[in-house]
Amino acid sequence: MQQNGDANQRIARISGHLNPRNLQMEESSGLQQVNCRAKGGSAGFRVAILGAAGGIGQPLAMLMKMNPLVSVLHLYDVVNSPGVTADISHMDTGAVVRGFLGQNQLENALTGMDLVIIPAGVPRKPGMTRDDLFNINAGIVKTLCEGVAKCCPKAIVNLISNPVNSTVPIAAEVFKKSGTFDPKRLLGVTMLDVVRANTFVAEVLGIDPREVDVPVVGGHAGVTILPLLSQVKPPCSFTPEETDYLTVRIQNGGTEVVEAKAGAGSATLSMAYAAVKFADACLRGLRGDAGVVQCAFVASQVTELPFFASKVRLGRTGIAEIYPLGPLNAYERIGLDKAKKELASSIEKGVSFIKK
Ligand SMILES: NC(=O)C1=CN([C@@H]2O[C@H](COP(=O)(O)OP(=O)(O)OC[C@H]3O[C@@H](n4cnc5c(N)ncnc54)[C@H](O)[C@@H]3O)[C@@H](O)[C@H]2O)C=CC1
Ligand SMILES: O=C([O-])CC(=O)C(=O)O
């Protein structure tokens, strides 16, 4: 009898993932299901991806499902999230996966999350700047951040949607308006600039990219992307021609992919890789690991601008420390002036979108 009871319990637990009755319940009262299903998961953090069915969202969801620090993975989108969720949920890794479709499931997707990663929004086509995405993506980011403020105000937010130089200020204003803004918890993802810089510098030096660390500061668009080639690890030097080539290639990395994709979108796979590298750093910080340092676009006092990308140390409550830029050479100082000029107006555009 006892054996039968155990077996029934096991079947009930497994079929909880498949039983159409339970799925229906999730639509009407997601939170109840959330608590119930999490029992099957491993110990770890609860992560939501908003825009999970997109070009970045899908590989990002796959890679996060493989991350042993993740116990619960919520996949939210306005289209196609049920299919992506069914697919990802068959991977035999520890995280429990749940899908959420459409605005009326946003709150259930966000409730209880430790980390929210946002790649929702339209990507560039050839000939466009990231700022050309502002009109559509600003509203999307605003709505999603209002959800975060309401349902998981203590979550760390990794904001990927472009133009990052404006969407991060938008998010900050939304959080300020709702009285939940904590600058330590809002991070614009500029990791792809670092990933590209490491790759291109390694190519020039003829070494393994995994051995290279290039700080990239400023922001995430054109001249605001400022690689500090004088601070590359391992220590090395570049000719003026190499410095020019590397700086321009790193600044135009996104455009290089947009043009190669010829209308089919922008970087998705390398971005998903970069997003997971960054999210993993945030989770290791939350866990209490020491010495977790990455570049990110954050509320900052490193320059006179209210937001700036630089190296930050990640800790148990998000950003534990923001590092100064360190010594810059003449080339980098000129680059910094250009970056700051463009950044100032992108930041102002984001702030006034909410304040208007
Ligand atoms: N920070 C960075 O380094 C990078 C940022 N990006 C940006 O990431 C964003 C997404 O790019 P892709 O994934 O290639 O675009 P995509 O169009 O393939 O996917 C975007 C997804 O967002 C969803 N979405 C739209 N409105 C939504 C809403 N209100 N709520 C939830 N989901 C919504 C769409 O349904 C779609 O599934 C773009 O803005 C792009 O410019 C792209 C590459 C690098
Ligand atoms: O270039 C774009 O539009 C997408 C992006 O931000 C990047 O690849 O760095």
Q: What is the pLDDT along the chain (356 residues), one digit of tens a residue?
A: 455 556 655 554 544 444 443 433 343 333 333 333 344 445 799 999 999 999 999 999 999 999 999 999 999 999 999 999 999 999 999 999 999 999 999 999 999 999 999 999 999 999 999 999 999 999 999 999 999 999 999 999 999 999 999 999 999 999 999 999 999 999 999 999 999 999 999 999 999 999 999 999 999 999 999 999 999 999 999 999 999 999 999 999 999 999 999 999 999 999 999 999 999 999 999 999 999 999 999 999 999 999 999 999 999 999 999 999 999 999 999 999 999 999 999 999 999 999 98
Fold of 42-189: Rossmann fold (3.40.50)
Q: How remote is the CA of residue 162 from the centroid of ligand 1, in Å? A: 8
**Ligand approaching nearest to the C-alpha of 106:** 1
Q: How remote is the CA of residue 254 from the centroid of ligand 2, in Å? A: 4
Helix (H, G, I), strand (E, B) or coil at 192: helix
How far is Cα 323 from Cα 292, in angstroms, rounded to an integer? 12
How far is Cα 227 from Cα 224, in angstroms, rounded to an integer? 10
Ligand 1 binding pocket, CB closer than 6 Å: 50-51, 53-57, 77-79, 119-124, 133, 137, 140, 143-144, 160-162, 164, 189, 192, 220, 265-268, 271
Fold of 190-355: L-2-Hydroxyisocaproate Dehydrogenase; Chain A, domain 2 (3.90.110)
Helix (H, G, I), strand (E, B) or coil at 67: coil
First to last CA, the chain: 68
Quote the tokens at residue 163.
Answer: 């133009």
The residue assigned the tokens 């619960």 is 72
Q: How remote is the CA of residue 11 from the centroid of ligand 1, in Å? A: 38
ipTM over 0.95: yes
How far is Cα 194 from Cα 275, in angstroms, rounded to an integer? 11
Backbone angles phi, psi at 162, to 5 degrees: -90, 160
Amino acid at site 185: R
Backbone angles phi, psi at 294, to 5 degrees: -145, 160
Residues carrying CATH 3.90.110.10, the chain: 190-355
How far is Cα 154 from Cα 28, in angstroms, rounded to an integer? 25
Predicted TM-score of the model (pTM): 0.93
Contact 253, 192 (CB under 8 A): yes
Protein residue with least CA distance to atom 8, ligand 2:
254
Contacts of 351 (CB under 8 A, 6+ apart): 169, 170, 172, 173
- Output the DSSP codes for 88-154: HHTS-SS-EEEEEESGGGHHHHHTT-SEEEE--SPPP-TT--GGGGHHHHHHHHHHHHHHHHHH-TT
Catalytic residue among 17, 74, 90, 220: 220
Query: Sign of torsion, CA 241 245 246 251?
Result: positive
Q: Are strands 225-227 and 216-218 parallel, antiparallel or unpaired?
A: antiparallel
- What's 39's DSSP letter? G
Q: Counting beta carbons within 10 angstroms of the beta carbon of residue 215, is it exposed (0 to 12), middle (13 to 18) or buried (19 or more)?
A: buried
Where helices occur in the chain by DSSP H, the ranges are 2-15, 20-28, 30-37, 57-65, 81-89, 106-110, 134-151, 164-177, 191-205, 240-251, 253-261, 269-287, 330-355
